Amino acid sequence: MHKIDPSDPLCSDAPVIVYTDIKSPYAFLAKDLTYALEDKYGVLFDWRPLTLDIPSYLGNAKAGEGGKVLEGDRSPRQWAWVKYAYHDAKRYASLRGLTLLGPRQIWDSSPASIGLLWMRDQDRAAFRKYLDLAFERFFKRELTIDAPMEIEKLIVEAGGEPEGFAEYFEGEGHRIHDALQAALHPAGFYGVPSFVIGGEIYFGREHLPYLDWYLSGQDGPAPDIAYEASLP
């Protein structure tokens, strides 16, 4: 995998950088579409974690069975946006046969992010398997993404090398993760999925048509933003 300089989140020797977070429904919806572009053009993108600090900008919340809010400090407007975002993500997930259950609490996904950093140096098929398993299980409420032991089990199941992960998690992995996260706001990143294309940041999978156009040689006018049209 491509080397990370945590102090320069826009720099990579890959044609495209992809920032993702396991707890984001929008990142989940972008994953397979992004793989498809890697496969179409025979290139490997530079996948990196952007661990969202959701309470800092969308308030905190915890729900019980049936989605009843047990505690939280979100404003009505923040709730309206969160509800719309999940409604929107769910309708696209449904069209693609994906299960997307809203989490009942806001998770710290940094262990899963450090797992992603660890898997970057593994076999590419194992790396994808790790992302697939992590996203799918998290949105089925079957994965505790803030538990390092759970992440290590996922690494094994994905076909990755678990030996040394515990030390990496406590040491180098944490350092790289935290340094990268600290550099993201100053570089202009605030959400996932984010793509770095030609040195510029593009937030959201609505830019994948542009990425396709960019990789295809940029013939003709650039396309407008659009979500996927691959409907049943």
Partner 1 sequence: MSEGRKLYEVGELELASPLAVFVDVKSANSFLAIKPTQALADELGLHVDWRPYVMKDSAYAVYTEQPRDEPLPEDVAKRHAMVRARYIIADQDRYAKQQGLTLIRPTRTVDSDLFAMGLLWARKQPPPFADRYVSASFERFWRQELDIESIDDMASLIQELNEDAEGFTLYVLNAGPGDLETNQKALDDINVIDTPTYLVADDIFIGRQHLPLIKWHLTRGSVESKHNHH
Q: Which of residues 172-211 bind partner 1 (CB under 8 A)?
A: 185-186, 188-191, 201-204, 206
> With DSSP H G I counted as helix, E B as strand and the rest as coil, what are the percentages for the chain, rounded to 5?
50, 10, 40
* Rounded Cα–Cα distance for residues 180 and 8 (Å): 8
Kind of pairing between the strands at 61-63 and 16-20 = unpaired
Q: CB of 170: closest distance to partner 1 in angstroms?
A: 25
35 binds partner 1 (CB under 8 A): no
Q: Which of residues 79-118 bind partner 1 (CB under 8 A)?
A: 80-81, 83-84, 88, 91-92, 95
Name the residue nearer to partner 1 (CB basis): 108 or 206: 206
Cβ atoms within 10 Å, residue 113: 26
Closest CA to 178 of 131, 107, 117: 117
Q: For residue 67, what is the DSSP state?
A: G
* Rounded Cα–Cα distance for residues 111 and 133 (Å): 15
Name the residue nearer to partner 1 (CB basis): 79 or 144: 79
Name the residue nearer to partner 1 (CB basis): 85 or 101: 85
Task: Please give the residue ranges that form the binding site for partner 1 (CB under 8 A).
Answer: 53, 56-57, 77, 80-81, 83-84, 88, 91-92, 95, 185-186, 188-191, 201-204, 206, 221-222, 224-229, 231
